[in-house]
Chain A
């Protein structure tokens, strides 16, 4: 039986916390198990989620120039990410999404905390890609995984509630958020007793815009979608990995705390859908706000 451990309450559950309050969240009383604590007999540092900090560090070194000089990522409100477990929720875009690596890299270098990205289990089926994806902090988006990470280990978890519908958008639909699934991310955050931190990201759409989708080809190859991107027109097959140097701006919005008890068997469906819709609205209006202030796709 999972006896819920005594937890410190966030000071104010009804209000979206502002910066000062978030900075004064009380420290947790009991140290949570650290997934990186491994047995002495082990020969690698692949932790209980398949993530390897060594490999992550290597990739961070390789990705740093791209992050700094290609996308020139700029964060706003990073300090709003609370200590302890939190579910980070962002918009998703670009045929081969460039937003997940940017967000994960930013959090790990700026906050010094590991972050796990939940994604479609499609990745897991790919040889080589699936293995590296997992070693770099990718996990199948299963509610049990999210619960264990958030509730039992106080980790940061990133999800894209739009799922594959986000990056599958064509050029003319950019920055228009898709349906946020069935609100599963809200339910998991409620059950785990952690806040949802909405994140709005501008730039990923332009880094690899989709001109047209080829559904029959996607079906033939068993892919979620098969895009023809502008990058491919410019760089040929290399376009599948070559991003345009769009300027990335990432804005962390105020964490959303839910006024419910964790670990319940069920949560009200209408409350889940309302919260999910509210979070979607917040990200959507933040995106519009950021786009209104954006002078250039390439220079921000």
Chain B
């Protein structure tokens, strides 16, 4: 009997053992190493003895301390990517370098990073001699949009109700198109497309967390949309889960339950400041220019209709969430209170190229790797690959 889910593009989990590369351990390429996600994922992978090599790409320098990850500075659209992939012989690509916060940069640079970057990434990964076997893409539930016609819960195969009009949504759609094409053309590769809902947590900053930190939380009068949140720890855990289990397919990643916006504000100990529901941009525009309110246009619809995604498919694949939506918000607000009192958790880290090179490659440093067996044969090759690139 066929269910409606059966038409999913690719199967759930492939259990076929990974093709053992040159030495057995996994060789991972992390894009967006300088972003929150890339950095966190790379940190977690460093602790994994099964991971031999971690290469991180970004236009920005890493913002977290990394021990053995090789950082490669690239231009935004990854033009040298195929050389890196060939030289490092990676078997897994974790693509976290997708801009989902439209306030971060101009539409043009967002297009370069999201669309052109992804295109080049997949072009590099689909060469005939490519060693890539697993691809994990960090997308966003923004691809579902937000409209009055929406179902209360989007499943992975629900289409969006209205055409994407915002640049950010359109670029994410284009990205997902490339992901799908790549998955279709390369059936031997496990492609996991993970759609994350609104992220909150101790460290991440998004347009929504900025709204919730304001003394009065903006809302639209007469509307109380419902939101879903995922905690930043669950985001990293989800990416690692996909990595560990060679997951393939599309997955929504979001905490349980949707919370009305007014309740979110209450959870944060805030009151809402209602804006008129019509002509909102007339008011939000000048406020934005004054720097008083950083509310991207995408959020106008979201503050009217909200968005809910069905997270049960990822749960069925075996993932267990640490936080529900409400717990994620609670955790976020607790860490915010702490930060307000004692300042940042850890001292700010600054990437110094020479220092990092010294620790990674100088013969003077006594290195202890999680695995020691075939280290002698592996390390020079990865270092060589890095130098070439």
Contact = CB atoms under 8 A, between A and B. Distances in A.
A265 B3 CA distance: 6
A145 interface: yes
A1 B151 contact: no
B222 A48 contact: no
A131 B148 CA distance: 12
Nearest to A142: B151
Contact of B326 (A39, A48, A148): A39
Given A43-B266, A121-B148, A144-B155, A131 B3 contact: no
A42 B277 contact: no
A131 B267 CA distance: 19
B149 A140 contact: yes
Contact of B316 (A1, A126, A128): A1
Contacts of B222: 126-131
A173 B381 CA distance: 83
Given A39-B257, A130-B222, A142 B152 contact: yes
Interface stretch (B4-12, B29-37, B108-116, B120-128): B4-12
Interface string B147-179: 011111111001000000000000000000000
Interface residues of A, number: 36
A20 interface: no
B75 interface: no
B263 interface: yes
Interface of B: 1-8, 12, 148-155, 158, 220-224, 226, 256-260, 263, 266-267, 277, 305, 308, 310, 313, 316, 324-327, 329-330
B52 to A, nearest CB: 34
Given A39-B326, A44-B260, A130 B223 contact: yes
B326 A261 contact: no
A39 B324 contact: yes
Nearest to B310: A148
Interface of A: 1-4, 38-39, 41-44, 46, 48-50, 121-122, 124-131, 139-140, 142-145, 148, 191, 261, 263-265
Given A44-B260, A263-B3, 16 more contacts: A1-B8, A3-B3, A39-B256, A41-B330, A42-B326, A43-B263, A48-B153, A121-B148, A125-B148, A128-B222, A140-B149, A144-B151, A144-B158, A145-B152, A145-B153, A264-B1
B147 to A, nearest CB: 9
B152 A131 contact: no
Contacts of B220: 127
B152 A39 contact: no
A263 B1 contact: yes
A203 to B, nearest CB: 31
B257 A142 contact: no
Contacts of A2: 3-5
A152 B240 CA distance: 30
A75 to B, nearest CB: 29
Given A46-B263, A127-B277, A145 B151 contact: yes
B153 A144 contact: yes
Contacts of A50: 152, 226, 258, 260
B4, B221, B263, B329 — most chain A CB neighbours (10 Å)? B4
